[in-house]
Amino acid sequence: MKIDNRIKFIAMMFMGIVLLTLAVFAISMADTSTVLRALGVPVDNGYVPAQLADGDGWAILGLGIGAGLALGLAGIGAGLGMGTASAAALGAITEKPETFGKSILYVVFIEAVAIYGFVIAFLLVGYIPTILGH
């Protein structure tokens, strides 16, 4: 039984997202001074971290995961679509050069999906300062 490379790639991306989510969750649940010491920031230098209200940590974690999923899944989908459409477009252009404009247009539409994912991720991350009250 041979597993397709696309399935392996998607499974590896999913495992990476899960591990990253667990790491962010572990950091968010730890004591603030412990995290600062682990990052090499001296705690006694007058640095006051942002004080989160109840549930704000979960909101920030959810926004981070949502932004990562929006960008990652849009990128994976656009990459797979771009590979398929580009190969078909090159084959069509080779046979009939007058189809160049239509073929490039299809490829550009697929690229827009990745840009939409980036914009959504950027908007989601932009809500984090609102939650922190800055």
Report DSSP state, residue 30.
S
Question: Which of these, 60, 54, 57, 55, lies nearest to 125 by C-alpha position?
Answer: 60
Question: Are 45 and 70 contained in the same domain?
Answer: no
* pLDDT value at 35 more than 80: no
Most confidently modeled range among 13-22, 23-32, 48-57, 93-102: 93-102
Quick one: 110 and 60 in the same domain?
yes
Question: Does 84 share its domain with 102?
Answer: yes
**What integer pLDDT is reported at residue 1 of this predicted model?**
45
- Residue range of the domain that includes 120: 53-134
Taking 50 as the threshold, does the pLDDT of residue 126 lie above it?
Answer: yes
Same domain, 83 and 104: yes
